[in-house]
Chains A and B, each alone.
Chain A
Amino acid sequence: MAGATITHAVHNRLAINRLGLWLFIISESFLFSVLLSSRYFLQGVRRPEEVNQPLGLAISIVLLLSSLTAYRGEMAAAYGEQRRFRQNILFTIGLASLFLVGVGIEWKEAFHFFPPSSGYGTLFFTLTGVHAFHVLTGILALLVVFFLGRDGRFTKGNYWGVEGVVKYWHFVDVAWVFIYPTLYLVS
């Protein structure tokens, strides 16, 4: 009986979790692809001159850097280096928050030049808004991982929570890699 129950429950929980996350990411990429398409459908490649180019570039770099620190955090967790893991997760949260502040400044300017009630503003605010919402959920998840990590919940062989959140974080960054040129560069 014992043997039978084990063969039944032998399914790899980690593999199931990974698959679930990938399915979620596939689902979310459909959302981002329709977001991007709507920009071209409604506005073509039109872009107001007032889009703040230096700021857009700056927050993009900040976000890409956060992916790097997130990756380093995950690797540290994989090797069981608790301090380095928590440090890097904290860096990531910091960079992500910096990104959100940047978006906030950008929104404040955009309200002047192309408010949400205008044609381009509609898309600018929606695309950055939906993405910023994902960034926010990412920050919350990173905070959870950070505090659980401080309680020593993640060990060398058991750090799915970290891995899952960091993978999600990479996805949020990749989404921005498509949104940034769509809103700031195309014309």
Chain B
Amino acid sequence: MAVLTALRPIGKGLAFAVVGFLIGAGAATLLTTITDRPATQPVITLGYLFALIGWVLGVGLWDNWAREWFGLPVKNTEAFGWPRYFRFTTDHKTIGVQYLVTFVVLFLLAGLLSVLMRLELMAPGQTIMGAKDFNTTMSLHGIIMIAVAVATFLGGFANFTIPLLIGAEDVAFPRINALSYWIVPPVAVLLILTPFFGGFDTGWTAYPPLAVVNATGGLLFVLAFLTFGVSSILGGLNFLATIIMLRAPGMTWGRLPIFVWSIFAAALISLTATQFVAYGLLMIILDRVVGTAFFDAARGGKPLLYEHIFWFYSHPAVYIMILPGFGVALEVLTHFSRKPLFAYKYVVGAILAIVALSFIVWAHHLYTSGMPSYLHLPFMITTEIISIPTGVIFLAGLGTIWLGRLWLTTPMLFALAFLFNFVIGGVTGIFLADVPTDINLQDNYFVVAHFHYTIMGGEIFALMAGIYYWFPKITGRMHSEALGKVHFWWMFIAYQVTFIPMFWAGIQGMNRRVADYTPELGGINLFISVASFLLAASFLVMVYNLVRAWVRGPKASDNPWRARTLEWQTSSPPPLENFTRPPVVVGHPYDYGVPGSVHSAAAPAGGAGDKETH
């Protein structure tokens, strides 16, 4: 019974979603009979849109918020204990955990999909699935991992840590925050349903004209992507407002922890650029559902328009993923080197420079797309300029650990590996930024290896660093550092062995996104496949370690890493209001070893003047 009551909001959401679907589908059927258009796609699209509205209303938007608009008193449906994770909760820490758990599960799922792909690619010819299923597997792996890369940081860590790091009680718009999480489950449901609607074979980029004419699974995918976009716009808005408005007294811009800066930058991109991909996806939906001619060349459409708009979002989106990765890595490197963050101001400048530059490089994805060739050179130059600020950040990382007394905990190992992998990802990126080399490397495994080195070797290693770093704070339990290190070395070695050969396979002509290859590449592919299975298996250690620690691990102290930032100056896990006494910031967060330096003090209790310092 207790379980049933706990899950009531979800049941209500589902019920409202069914009603919404019927309304939308009914309206679509009516419209299609008037206009003589085929009914399937309009019914799915309108049905889904209304189901989505029904779902968020039912799951809590109506009770907690929308009643207000009709002059009714709101009903607060918050709960305590585990049921709070299954409802419209406004506490940023709960939402952070909701995001993290959801997306770590999705991460493991998409990892399994890559195992399926590697099984198929183990030997030339068909092994376990046909080309069509391979395309769907590949596309699903891509889009889920993209969502993971965006949402674990901008949704998970940002939610849990930003208010703590700046000394706030919550985010600026707690209800919008809850809304942006509860928009996510429909995305997952749509994606999981795609194989039952013919799958989709466009990859996560959804290039037309294929994306307009492929199976209905393609429509489901585009709707899912669009929904996810709405969620990340809301998330970006929330964190910008939070960081601008809710910093504790004394938390000046020059004292912001670097992870906060990185989320600020990512949120800026998310708020603005995501509207572009939203429009790109809307055009695909309109072409499919209404029969417009955006991408039909015969009627004056241009598929190239989509590529421009899509990459105007998706290149900056790379920085939505990687900038918070930088943030976590630098944060961890500083705390575990026991040294001030090297060149803090330059790092902040570099992060903001990357945001600005990220908007003027998109066409480096279009060198072989038939874009006018006079655009090649400018985009090559802007792209290469980006290596200056990224280089600054990398050097700041090195400068921070230089001559530091390194404490090689699990998070620290992952942060160091981040630096290592990012160099490889960055250097190989130069070949793809340069037009002459890129034209030869386009769409082969060199590209696959490159972006996996930046996103997986970079961001996912930073994600692991963040998970192990904040796990004691989030759960109040301590994971096993020994198992953590086993996970690290296993994952690190298996990772290199999997992805280094891909550079070579690419140069040998191994095409990406294709289920088959020439027999000469059989040996290297077998090697990569076996290595990738080992890589996948390393995550079992992590799951075992973290699940066990969460259930019955030893209690974590408030500040197991003896770090100076604010989130460690409260209990583990923090109380609902975050700090029993509001913090006052008096110094820089990273002045380790600087005599007499203090980052924060708790506000004096009732003016008694007992200054509690750290």
Contacts and interface: CB of A to CB of B under 8 A. Distances in A.
Interface of A: 1-5, 7-9, 11-12, 15-16, 19-20, 23-24, 26-28, 30-31, 34-35, 38, 41-43, 116-122, 125-126, 130, 144, 147-148, 151, 153
A121 B173 CA distance: 39
A117 B244 CA distance: 45
A35 B606 contact: no
Interface string B213-254: 000000000000000000001001100110011101100000
7 contacts: A2-B606, A11-B246, A16-B172, A16-B245, A26-B272, A116-B286, A119-B299
- In order of increasing CB-CB distance, the 10 nearest A-B pairs are A119-B300, A8-B582, A30-B275, A31-B275, A122-B292, A4-B603, A144-B69, A122-B293, A23-B237, A30-B272
Contacts of A31: 275-276, 278-279
A19 B273 contact: no
Contact of A34 (B236, B279, B286): B279
Interface stretch (B301-309, B445-453, B538-546, B558-566): B301-309
Which of A35, A42, A116 has the most C-beta atoms of chain B within 10 angstroms of its own C-beta?
A42
Given A9-B169, A16-B172, A117-B293, A4 B606 contact: yes
Contact of A19 (B71, B233, B245, B309): B245
Contacts of A38: 279, 283, 294, 305, 309
A116 B290 contact: yes
Nearest to B270: A27
B581 interface: yes
Nearest to B312: A34
Contacts of B278: 31
A122 B294 contact: yes
B607 interface: yes
B361 interface: no
B595 to A, nearest CB: 29
Contacts of A144: 69-70
A137 B118 CA distance: 48
Given A38-B305, A42-B302, 11 more contacts: A1-B581, A5-B582, A7-B603, A16-B173, A19-B241, A34-B312, A38-B309, A42-B294, A118-B299, A125-B290, A126-B282
Contacts of A130: 282
A7 B581 CA distance: 11
Of A8, A16, A43, A125, chain B has the most CB atoms within 10 Å of the CB of A8
A151 B71 contact: yes
A43 B244 CA distance: 41
Contacts of A11: 245-246
Contacts of A1: 581, 605-606
Given A38-B279, A116-B290, A23 B240 contact: yes
A7 B247 CA distance: 12
Contacts of A121: 292-293
A119 B301 contact: yes
Contacts of B603: 4, 7-8
B604 interface: yes
Given A3-B607, A31-B279, A122-B292, A24 B237 contact: yes
B581 A27 contact: no
Given A16-B245, A20-B172, A153-B71, A116 B272 contact: no
A167 to B, nearest CB: 15
Interface in B282-320: 282-283, 286, 290-294, 299-302, 305, 308-309, 312
B341 interface: no
B531 interface: no
Contact of B244 (A4, A19, A148): A19
A16 B283 CA distance: 34
A23 B239 CA distance: 11
B292 A126 contact: yes
Contacts of A30: 272-273, 275-276
A126 B273 CA distance: 20
B271 interface: yes
Interface string B564-598: 00000000000000000110000000000000000
Given A1-B605, A7-B249, A147-B71, A125 B275 contact: no
A119 B295 CA distance: 10
A138 B228 CA distance: 24
A117 B581 contact: no
B233 A27 contact: yes
Contacts of A26: 271-272
A96 to B, nearest CB: 18
A176 to B, nearest CB: 17
Contacts of A119: 293, 299-301
Given A20-B172, A23-B241, A116-B290, A122 B301 contact: yes
A32 to B, nearest CB: 9
B606 A41 contact: no
Interface string B181-214: 0000000000000000000000000000000000
Interface in B126-178: 169, 172-173, 176
A14 to B, nearest CB: 11
A125 B290 CA distance: 10
A116 B292 contact: yes
A4 B605 contact: yes
Contacts of B308: 41
A1 B580 CA distance: 10
Contact of A20 (B70, B237, B604, B606): B237
Nearest to B71: A151
B245 A34 contact: no
Contact of A15 (B245, B286, B607): B245
A3 B237 contact: no
Contacts of B290: 116, 125
